[in-house]
Structure 1
Amino acid sequence: MTRTIRMACVAISAVAAGPVLAQTPYELDEIIVSGGFSPIEERRYGQSASVLTAQDIEDRGILTVQDALRAVPGLAVSGTGNNFTQVRIRGAEANHTLIMVDGVQLSAGDSEYILSGLDTANIERIEVLRGPQSVFYGSNASAGVVNIITKRGATGTEYGGSVEIGDGYAASARFSFRSDRGGLAFGVSRLDDDGYDFSGSDGELDGTRRSTLNLTGDYNVTDRLTLGFTLRASNENFAFDTTSYVASTADEYVIDDPNQTSERKERSGSLFAEYEALDGRLVHRLTFEGSEYEQSTNGAAPTKADRSAAKYLLSYGLDGYAVASTNHLLNIMAEWEQDSSSSNPEYERETNSVAMEYRGTLDNGLNLQAGLRYDDNKVFEDDLLWILAGSYTFVGSGVRLHASAGTGSVNPTYFELFADTFGFVDNTSLKPEKNQSIDFGVEVPFWGDRGQVDVTYFHADLTDEIVSVFDPATGNSVFINESEKSRRQGIEISGNLQATDTLELQLSYTYLHAKNADGTVEVRRPRHELWLGATQQFMQGRGSVTADLRYVAGNYDSQFFGSYELAELPDYVTVDVAAQFDLTDTVQLTGRITNLFDEEYSDTWGYATRGRTAYVGLRAAF
């Protein structure tokens, strides 16, 4: 499941793979599209990455992105019900993970993106990069990146769709056309989840309804010039429950309330132009992107945030070969970014950034990646960021060593910078929060390359964490940068084994030790998370059955009831099963059962989780 995949031809063309000078080009390995300013081969990449492919998602019967991410090592996914789900990478804060679709940020710049109903329909793959990515993606990529890449389609015309019923319904459709000059891809999906009662009292169902549209296109105007775009629009309505701060137990804390609803609208898109020169040795890429995010609760005026950015990227083959096949690549980037929020309408944040990246493959097979970025922030302190990573594969054994070190940053939010309500005062002298991280690991193939296991150790220190303090002299609170560090370290293990011609086994395990600056345990970051998966094919591959087992232990959360303590949640094990069968060459019958043994568990104090639920559906591709 957590394996890299071969990049589609369109992704290669997006890097402007031009004519190659007289040499024998190396054979392209599997590609990580998000691994720098331009796609990078897996064997050359030194940081930790996992890829969930469309096939992985279909085999497991996964309907939402938040559920798909639960099997990735190093990630803690938790929510107060299904409609407020956060992702934490390697014990970092939730707003230190940048979530994107087709390379465009979803949060519109201000704080974190909350997962709720983001469905997996029409997704080609999900790339998860662990470790600081701010050199390449700026603020909010301090601990890592989740980049959701939609389907582009192969050469020719493709169309298809899916429908599933169970606890509500889900439906999707897609169409694509691609020639040797370019293509268009369109996808639409609807998720209507009846939900369950978050309070656990068998009351009103807290459901989710989301509609999403994606449109992408690219065209080779000439052999040297490529133009392209992405568009995405999503509308969502969901219900939730209220809480009681005078409750004495977890069962009393969340109160069933049929009147609590929220609505959110998301709009994002990008335009790019790419031009090759010097027989592909020099590539220019200009990108404009924007996103808007709007959310309202119970019909009140919505909070709106928007972000605009323009980026110029120059890629140059230092050894005289084309960018697509060079062993020594230099990327130079300049970016302008501006965002605003209706929560503080009198202010805007603007950042001008410059960065460079070097990638090299040395004669001894050592691969290096180094990056440096400077952010000129107009309303708070500037920032300097760096990344260094490397990998080395031993010839013959296939054993690969990988390591990285670097820094990431997270900008202060509008409220932290400009607060003037609820007893808070502004502080525009805040510094971005800074993540300093190292990791190193080894990837080992075994059993004649039928299996592979990767073990990685990581350590990260969060400095300049933004916290609020109360000044008794003025009676006000203000946000400041914490002087002490909070530390996180742990081990990630991932593996897969083709046990037989028809049976594939997979695993991921995370051990995490995360502490606040005062030594207390960080909340909603389990000490142990284990995921096991098995897919068995039958009838010459016409059908398959997949089982997932997930074990979580050592998860602490704050109790906002009773004596208001930090307490450990009970350990739990859940099992999901999914099956699919080819009715014809183009139509599949699908079915799945989530929480097979109807386990009662929770990732946050007071909030119930969904019981055993069954679904059945059809999937078609032409």
Structure 2
Amino acid sequence: MRRPLSLLAFAAALPAIAATAQEPILLDEIVLSAGLTPLPADAYARAFSTVTADEIRDRGITTVQDALRALPGLSVNTSGAGLTQVRIRGAEANQTLILIDGVEAVGGADEYFLSGLDTDNIERIEVLRGPQSVFYGSNASAGVVNIITRRAPQGRSYGATVEVGNGGAASLSAGHRGERGGVQVILSTRDDLGYDLSGSGGDKDGLRRKTLSVTGDLAATEDLRLGLTLRRSAERIRQDDADSGAARPEDYIVDSDMIRDRDELQAGLWAEYGAADARLTHRLDWQQSVLRETQDADPEQRGETGKLKYRASLGLDGAASEARHLLNLLAEHQRDENTTAPGQSREMSSVALEFRAFLEGGVSLQAGLRHDANRVFDDFNSWNVALDWQIPDRPFRLHASAGTGLVNPSFFELYADQSFGSIAYRGNPDLRPERNRGFDIGVEAQLPGGRGSIDVTYFNETFQDEIDIVALPSQGPSLLFTYANQAGDSPREGVEVTARINASDRLSLSGSYTYLDAKNPDGSAEVRRPRHEAGLSATLAILDGRGTISGDLRHVSGNVDTRFFGDFGTGTLPAFTVANLAAGYDVTPNVRAVARISNLFDTDYSESWGYPAQGRTATVGLQARW
């Protein structure tokens, strides 16, 4: 605990340093995670989506996983409390890197399962689609989800929220920003009672989560800025067991009192050096992610990832912050440890180069190259290139990108020797990393009068050496599985459509649609990647703008999944359409009353075989900031 405590001591000193007020710098038009340095959104040539704090508020979204549902190119799948996976463009979930304020959400080179991540103090969520390994290395082969929390506004600020309905949630926040920096502290708790997954009238299966987060920045001198991010979460998940001998989906989950505890830590310190008009700037980052997890009386599982990163930015034709031609250099060292393989830590040293050019005629270019020197696996070179053209005097923007990515096998896939109920897993130390290459091309059309935009993007990606689960001869009563690289290519292609329309001064509409064709090398459909997914959202301002009413529709069809019971085959789940309704009203300029009904029509559906989704639920709450 020495490192987190030292971060808190640093944070505690910031308010004493941050004093007189000045106008804050607004970065609303910046996609912070789009490369090695911030990049204007209107010049970013790769496919991306953002969910802003205003959208989250108006739509009454309470968790990150719900905010990601129905975004173009994303498949969000839940199989019980605390087990939500995100897949981008038909890739596997562990090929999507999830960050919180730029720090990996999970330690130990594992996949991160979304659970009770609250949205109360999120500024925005950025989703970058397509290979991102040049910037983020392994596990960013299919894309990146970066969850960006709210920074302290100018002066002193406070906030509180409370919510009730099938449990409850609450948060407290306090911040201060002055001339030289700011600090924000957030405490939150959520007790989601959930529902009985087994459907047999047993105990509800939900989760309880408590989180402390601290972010701060300080101008130590005119040319040197320091910053920190610290986030600690403790979570208890109540869950049922599974019966692999079941004959029907409704009999697969059986009532049980299983308890899983998770403890997460994400921490980072950074320093930036360079005057505002400097052509060369420097940044040094130290990051650490730790995940501790226990189930019932089993031994604790622990994973840890540490990173040290150095970045230099050189403006080729002026200050790095304003240059039209920019060169970025990254040097990075990463170390992973996991109790799945005691004493078998792995390290990787990397160097990356990125070039950006903003040319005449509305053209922007981004290109990157990275070399990973891996101590355990073969070295790997990744690359990407992207081109964006805003056609002069025309309401059209063309964008295209291509690149490659890499995903190293997880410690569990390599060295597992564990059982979960009647299912046991054994690792395969001979696994090879998964590789990805892909491209996309799209066009964005601006609607007349600045009323919105419509974007249509085609993508095509191919995975090689994809890792799959393979059944082994059973030993005793348990079913035994291991992992193996598939021979041949795993192709994915599809179309992503995004629309945002301001129908009037009071009514805003947004919609998305994804068509996906994802196959294994043998031509069979990849599981948990719906063929069709569509979303529609409408928000209406009422009562002179003091209130809003928002509705969401999500449709999913063509979702193939494996049955881990009965014949252990695959089958297509029934299509479903789910509606949500939310409303908010500003009681005062600082206090807002909110209400939400999820699964408005109590639709009976499932995102994976044997795991029924939750029925209709309602919540009400208050949000206050001053």
Task: Provide the TM-score with structure 2 as the length reference.
Answer: 0.91
Alignment CA distance shift 1:409-1:160 (3 Å)? same
* Counterpart Cα distance in 2 of 1:28 and 1:303: 39
* Counterpart Cα distance in 2 of 1:205 and 1:29: 41
Alignment CA distance shift 1:175-1:68 (3 Å)? same
Q: Which residue of 2 aligns with 1:60?
A: 59
- Alignment pair present for 1:363 and 2:363: no
Q: Which amino acid aligns with 2:99?
A: M
Measure how far apart 1:181 and its partner are: 1.1
Alignment CA distance shift 1:29-1:189 (3 Å)? closer
Map 1:107-118 → 2, pairs under 5 A: 107-118=106-117
* Counterpart Cα distance in 1 of 2:415 and 2:255: 35
- Alignment pair present for 1:329 and 2:326: yes
SS of equivalent to 1:95: helix
Q: Which residue of 1 aligns with 2:291?
A: 293
* Counterpart Cα distance in 1 of 2:606 and 2:301: 30
582, 585, 596: which is aligned to 2:586? 582
Measure how far apart 1:610 and its partner are: 0.9
Measure how far apart 1:299 and its partner are: 3.0
Map 1:163-562 → 2, pairs under 5 A: 163-257=162-256, 259-276=257-274, 279-319=277-317, 321-418=318-415, 424=426, 427=429, 430-467=431-468, 479-562=483-566
* Counterpart Cα distance in 2 of 1:174 and 1:603: 35
Q: Deviations over 1:466-514 (max 9, x none)?
A: 3466899xxx997553330101110000111111110001101111111
* Counterpart Cα distance in 1 of 2:541 and 2:362: 38
* Counterpart Cα distance in 2 of 1:512 and 1:425: 31
Q: Deviations over 1:367-403 (max 9, x none)?
A: 0000000001101111110010110101222311111
SS of equivalent to 1:56: helix
Q: Deviations over 1:112-167 (max 9, x none)?
A: 10011111121111111111111101111110001001110222111111111001
* Counterpart Cα distance in 1 of 2:276 and 2:504: 49
Q: Which amino acid aligns with 1:264?
A: R
Q: Which residue of 1 aligns with 2:572?
A: 568
The question of whether the paired residues in 2 share the 8 Å contact of 1:197 and 1:608 is answered with: no
Q: Deviations over 1:538-570 (max 9, x none)?
A: 111000100001111111111122222211111
Q: Which amino acid aligns with 1:439?
A: D
The question of whether the paired residues in 2 share the 8 Å contact of 1:29 and 1:43 is answered with: no
SS of equivalent to 2:607: coil
Q: Which amino acid aligns with 2:303?
A: A
* Counterpart Cα distance in 1 of 2:297 and 2:511: 44
* Counterpart Cα distance in 1 of 2:196 and 2:145: 29
The question of whether the paired residues in 2 share the 8 Å contact of 1:383 and 1:432 is answered with: no
* Counterpart Cα distance in 1 of 2:65 and 2:110: 18
Q: Deviations over 1:296-321 (max 9, x none)?
A: 101322100001110000000011x1
Q: Deviations over 1:246-293 (max 9, x none)?
A: 111111111121x21100000111111111159321101011010110
* Counterpart Cα distance in 1 of 2:154 and 2:27: 19
Q: Which amino acid aligns with 2:250?
A: D
The question of whether the paired residues in 2 share the 8 Å contact of 1:344 and 1:414 is answered with: yes
Measure how far apart 1:46 and its partner are: 0.9
* Counterpart Cα distance in 1 of 2:50 and 2:154: 23
- Alignment pair present for 1:38 and 2:37: yes
The question of whether the paired residues in 2 share the 8 Å contact of 1:427 and 1:480 is answered with: no
* Counterpart Cα distance in 2 of 1:205 and 1:560: 23
Measure how far apart 1:419 and its partner are: 5.2
* Counterpart Cα distance in 2 of 1:284 and 1:39: 14
SS of equivalent to 2:55: helix
Q: Which residue of 1 aligns with 2:120?
A: 121
SS of equivalent to 2:459: strand
The question of whether the paired residues in 2 share the 8 Å contact of 1:294 and 1:302 is answered with: yes
The question of whether the paired residues in 1 share the 8 Å contact of 2:551 and 2:581 is answered with: yes
* Counterpart Cα distance in 2 of 1:121 and 1:183: 19
Q: Which amino acid aligns with 1:578?
A: A
Q: Deviations over 1:164-204 (max 9, x none)?
A: 10010011111111122111011111010111011233321
SS of equivalent to 2:611: coil
CA RMSD of aligned residues (A): 1.8
* Counterpart Cα distance in 1 of 2:484 and 2:610: 31
The question of whether the paired residues in 2 share the 8 Å contact of 1:184 and 1:218 is answered with: yes
Alignment CA distance shift 1:247-1:536 (3 Å)? same
Q: Deviations over 1:214-258 (max 9, x none)?
A: 10111111110101111000000011111111111111111121x
Q: Which amino acid aligns with 2:110?
A: S
The question of whether the paired residues in 2 share the 8 Å contact of 1:504 and 1:535 is answered with: yes
Q: Deviations over 1:551-606 (max 9, x none)?
A: 11111111122222211111111110000001111111111111111100000111
Q: Deviations over 1:28-47 (max 9, x none)?
A: 98211100011101121111
Measure how far apart 1:426 and its partner are: 5.1
Alignment CA distance shift 1:596-1:281 (3 Å)? same
The question of whether the paired residues in 2 share the 8 Å contact of 1:275 and 1:283 is answered with: yes
Give 5+ residue unaligned stretches, structure 2.
1-25, 419-423, 474-479
* Counterpart Cα distance in 2 of 1:119 and 1:457: 32
Alignment CA distance shift 1:66-1:153 (3 Å)? same
Q: Which amino acid aligns with 1:427?
A: P
* Counterpart Cα distance in 2 of 1:109 and 1:460: 27
* Counterpart Cα distance in 1 of 2:426 and 2:250: 33
* Counterpart Cα distance in 1 of 2:71 and 2:589: 31
SS of equivalent to 2:371: strand
Pick which of 307-316 and 174-183 moved more.
174-183
Q: Which residue of 1 aligns with 2:614?
A: 610
SS of equivalent to 2:412: helix
Q: Which residue of 1 aligns with 2:150?
A: 151
* Counterpart Cα distance in 2 of 1:181 and 1:412: 44
- Alignment pair present for 1:601 and 2:605: yes
* Counterpart Cα distance in 2 of 1:367 and 1:424: 48
Q: Deviations over 1:32-76 (max 9, x none)?
A: 110001110112111111111111111111111111100311100
